[in-house]
């Protein structure tokens, strides 16, 4: 007979590791957020600060700007990746020679370390060395300087993210498309529905679960983007690409203001969860339209 | 009409392939150039094979140490995660446990939290709380190995759960009736059947640990630096040597190129923590 005690024993190491390194930091950050603390100062005192750290956050322009930038970045990358990924997934639904090879190559960016992605794009775009500024200038007369123009830096991080993560969207949507039954499409065609109607009333509702999952995964990942951007622009020029993850890192560690950093971390976590929940309710709770 | 139906996808895919490979190709081209060759007209063509950058990087004691750290951390983490995930999924799949679904869900949520948010508490925990005399978890390999379990274990459990559920219960039940102990069931019945899935889980786990940067950069200073942090250090140093940076990037990328074929089919399950199955 299998006793549950043995089962729990098998689970114990997993729960212990995740409890200590996953759950404990969460409570710890909540605790530290209510104090002023620098453990590395000459006389490290844990001073109770109440909600002061949170009050400070609300008036912190740079923090708010970072959140705004992160949201803009997330919006553009998720939207572009969905559109491009969907089109590519549809292409993959057809049969053509070397399909397997193309698929493998298309998957490659997903396995590349984010920091190496950043390095590759930095090498592509660094003035005087990279081909991107060189050919943009030669062919289009565009003055491309990543370190000087805010819009260019922002756009480059977006394109880099699209390069890195579109394959994931392609593959998940491909999985969704492959699992679809053919009958509804055939009967809709017989009934004389046009392409747009089929897409809107049959394809989309059926793809919805996969689509939503994909959106959420990309959303969460885009909101926490750090490594690639850190390597590519370091958050600059100025603060044009200082997304929230970079901001926390840049502010907390040099300034050793840990209570404030904790408040910032907790608020960011809260905002991330809220945003995902909000979108979940808005998207999932909406009833599918009757055709 | 039919011909056009094939030609168009191939053309688009050729274009996509060029775009996908361009950054990686450029890394390779730069890593194959001398300092003098680098500046001038940035041709995308390979000028020849110059291995000097790789030699420089591999002869550099520091980078060799970083590489070794990365190998140790990724491999240990991979081993721990695979073993724990095997045990955990065995329990989840074969035992009736109270609040099993909530537990499973909690395990997965560990992968979803933004890493940047946990930097600070973990930094403080590693320097202030988890210390025993002079020993602290900060700047140790073991600190990174344990920490990487937080995002790798949930993923491994999710992937392994499907594999474990796919192994017929009748098999291990029959073995138990024949008098096999739980340990024997796990090692002699389950393990051989789960091997292929276990291998994919292990490879992806290893890759995630190898690729990780943010925690490695924050929670190490000298002793436990990994190859990804070495890569980032390159840029802040005045007068970046682009050739060596590219060579080191290519070394970081090498495992991905090796494993790509193996894990290609499973990568969606891996990166979406199993929420979308292929």
A227-265: per-residue pLDDT in tens?
999 999 988 788 899 999 999 988 888 888 888 989 999
The Cα–Cα gap between B149 and B155 comes to: 9
Query: In whole angstroms, what is the distance from residue A155 CA to residue A22 CA?
Result: 34
Q: Which of B87, B123, B272 sits opposite A10 (nearest CB)?
A: B87
| A285 and B CB contact within 8 Å | no
pLDDT of B199 strictly over 70: yes
Assembly ipTM: 0.90
Whether B214 contacts B29, CB under 8 Å: no
CA distance A172 to chain B (A): 6
Give residue-wise pLDDT tens across range B39-89. Answer: 777 888 888 888 988 998 899 898 999 999 999 999 999 999 999 999 999
Q: Which of A93, A239, A90, A79 is nearest to A165 (CA)?
A: A79
pLDDT at A1: 53
List, for residues B109-146, the tens digit of each pLDDT value. 888 788 888 888 999 899 888 888 788 889 999 999 99
Q: How many residues does chain A have?
A: 291
Cα dist from A231 to A143, A155, A164, A167, whole Å: 22, 15, 14, 21
B148, closest residue in chain A (CA to CA): A21
Q: Yes or no: say if B85 and A14 are a contact pair by the CB < 8 Å rule.
A: yes
Residue of higher predicted confidence among A140 and A283? A140
What is d(CA A207, CA A199) in angstroms, rounded to the nearest whole number? 10
Contact A108 B260 (CB under 8 A): yes
Neighbours of B93 (CB within 10 A): 20
Return residues 7-46 of B near A (CB < 8 Å).
9-10, 12-13, 16-17, 19-24, 26-27, 30, 38-39, 41-44
Q: Residue A48 corresponds to which tokens in the numbers above?
A: 């109770």
pLDDT at B34: 86
Q: How many CB atoms lie within 10 A of CB A11?
A: 23
- Residue A254 contacts B, CB cutoff 8 Å: no
Alpha-carbon separation of residue A88 from A164, A170, A205, B157 (angstroms): 15, 6, 19, 30
Model confidence at B260: pLDDT above 80: yes
**pLDDT tens for each residue of A199-208:** 888 888 889 8
* Predicted model pTM: 0.91
Q: CA-CA distance, B273 to B50, in Å (whole number)?
A: 41
pLDDT surpasses 80 at B237:
no
> What is the model's pLDDT at position A57?
87
pLDDT at B278: 60
Longest dimension (CA), chain A: 80
Task: Flag whether residue A172 sits within 8 Å of chain B, measured between CB atoms.
Answer: yes
What mean pLDDT is reported for chain B?
88
Give the pLDDT of residue A291: 38
3-state secondary structure A110-169: HHCCHHHHHHHHHHHHCCCCCHHHHHHHHHHCCCCCCCCCHHHHHHHHHHHHHHHHHHHH
A28-46 pLDDT, tens digit each:
999 988 988 877 777 777 7
A123 chain-B contacts, CB cut-off 8 A: 23, 26-27, 30, 242, 245-246
Of the candidates B161, B142, B141, B163, the residue with the CA atom closest to the CA atom of residue B153: B161
A93 inside 8 A of chain B by CB: no
Burial of B155 (0-12, 13-18, 19+ CB in 10 A): buried
Average pLDDT over residues A131-157: 90
């Amino acid at each position: 007979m299998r006793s549950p005690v043995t089962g729990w024993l098998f689970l114990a190491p997993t729960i212990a590791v995740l409890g200590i390194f996953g759950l404990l930091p969460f409570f710890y950050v909540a605790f530290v957020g209510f104090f002023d603390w620098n453990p590395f100062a000459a006389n490290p005192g844990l001073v109770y600060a109440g909600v002061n750290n949170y009050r400070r956050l609300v008036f912190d322009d740079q923090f708010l700007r970072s959140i705004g930038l992160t949201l803009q970045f997330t919006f553009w990358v998720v939207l572009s990746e969905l559109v491009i990924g969907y089109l590519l997934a549809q292409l993959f639904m057809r049969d053509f020679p070397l399909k397997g090879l193309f698929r493998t190559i298309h998957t490659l960016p997903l396995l590349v370390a984010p920091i190496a992605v950043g390095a590759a794009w930095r090498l592509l775009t660094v003035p005087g060395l990279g081909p991107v500024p060189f050919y943009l200038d030669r062919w289009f007369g565009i003055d491309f300087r990543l370190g000087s123009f805010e819009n260019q830096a922002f756009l480059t991080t977006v394109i880099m993210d699209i390069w890195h993560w579109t394959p994931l969207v392609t593959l998940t949507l491909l999985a969704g498309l492959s699992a679809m039954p053919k009958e509804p499409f055939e009967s809709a065609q017989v009934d004389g529905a046009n392409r747009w109607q089929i897409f809107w009333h049959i394809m989309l509702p059926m793809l919805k679960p996969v689509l939503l999952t994909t959106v959420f995964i990309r959303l969460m990942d885009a909101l926490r983007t750090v490594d690639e951007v850190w390597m590519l622009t370091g958050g600059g020029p100025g603060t044009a690409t200082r997304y929230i993850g970079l901001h926390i890192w840049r502010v907390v560690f040099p300034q050793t203001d840990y209570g404030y950093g904790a408040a910032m971390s907790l608020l960011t976590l809260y905002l991330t969860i809220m945003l995902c929940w909000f979108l979940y309710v808005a998207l999932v709770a909406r009833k599918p339209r009757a055709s | 009409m039919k011909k056009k139906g094939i030609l168009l996808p191939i053309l688009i895919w050729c274009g996509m392939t060029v775009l996908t490979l361009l950054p990686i190709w450029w890394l390779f081209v730069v890593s194959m150039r001398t300092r003098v060759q680098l500046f001038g007209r940035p041709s995308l063509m390979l000028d020849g094979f110059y291995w000097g950058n790789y030699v420089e990087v591999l002869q550099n004691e520091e980078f060799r140490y970083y590489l070794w750290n990365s190998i140790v951390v990724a491999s240990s983490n991979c081993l721990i995660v695979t073993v724990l995930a095997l045990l955990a999924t065995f329990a989840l799949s074969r035992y009736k446990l109270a609040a099993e679904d909530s537990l499973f869900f909690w395990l997965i949520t560990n992968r979803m939290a933004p890493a940047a948010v946990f930097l600070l508490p973990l930094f403080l925990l590693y320097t202030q709380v988890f210390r025993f005399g002079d020993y602290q978890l900060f700047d140790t390999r073991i600190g990174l190995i344990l920490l990487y379990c937080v995002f790798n274990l949930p993923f491994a459990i999710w992937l392994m759960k499907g594999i474990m559920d796919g192994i017929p219960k009748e098999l291990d039940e029959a073995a138990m009736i024949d008098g096999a102990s739980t340990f024997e069931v796990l090692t002699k019945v389950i393990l051989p059947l789960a091997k292929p899935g276990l291998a994919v889980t292990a490879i992806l786990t290893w890759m995630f640990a190898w690729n990780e940067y943010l925690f490695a950069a924050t929670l190490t200073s000298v002793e436990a630096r990994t190859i990804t942090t070495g890569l980032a250090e390159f840029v802040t140093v005045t007068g970046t040597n682009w050739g060596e940076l590219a060579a080191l990037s290519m070394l970081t990328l090498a495992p991905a190129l090796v494993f790509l074929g193996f894990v290609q089919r499973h990568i969606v399950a891996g990166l979406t923590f199993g929420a979308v199955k292929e």
